[in-house]
Amino acid sequence: MPRMRRFAAKALEQAQRAAFGSAEYAEQESFVRASEIRTLAERAGIGQGISVLDLCCGVAGPGRLLAREFGCAYFGVDASEDAVAIARQRSSDLPCRFVVAQVPPLPHGSFDVVLLLETMLAFQDKRALLEAVARTLPTGGRFAFTLEEGAALTEAERARMPAADTVWLMPLQEMHTLLAQVGLAVSWEDDWSESHSAAAEALTDAYAVRAAAIASQIGDRAMGELVRAHRQWSEWLATGRVRKFALVAERFVERTTPP
State the pLDDT at residue 254: 53
Q: Percent of the chain scored above 70 by pLDDT?
A: 94
CA separation for the pair 9, 97 (Å, rounded): 21
> Would you say residue 25 has pLDDT above 90?
yes
CA separation for the pair 246, 63 (Å, rounded): 16
CA separation for the pair 96, 61 (Å, rounded): 12
> Would you say residue 2 has pLDDT above 50?
no
- Summarised one tens digit per residue, pLDDT across range 144-180 is 999 999 999 999 999 999 999 999 999 999 999 999 9
- Summarised one tens digit per residue, pLDDT across range 124-150 is 999 999 999 999 999 999 999 999 999
> For the whole model, what pTM was predicted?
0.93
State the pLDDT at residue 218: 87
Architecture per CATH, domain 3-249, reads as 3-Layer(aba) Sandwich (3.40)
Q: Which of 19, 33, 13, 44 is nearest to 184 (CA)?
A: 44
Q: What is the mean pLDDT of residues 178-200?
A: 97
Q: Pick 196 or 255 by higher pLDDT.
A: 196
- Summarised one tens digit per residue, pLDDT across range 54-84 is 999 999 999 999 999 999 999 999 999 999 9
Question: Which segment of 68-72, 115-119, 254-258 scores lowest on mean pLDDT?
Answer: 254-258
CA separation for the pair 212, 259 (Å, rounded): 50
State the pLDDT at residue 10: 74
Q: Which residues pair with 245 in a beta bridge?
A: 147, 191
First to last CA, the chain: 40
State the pLDDT at residue 217: 86
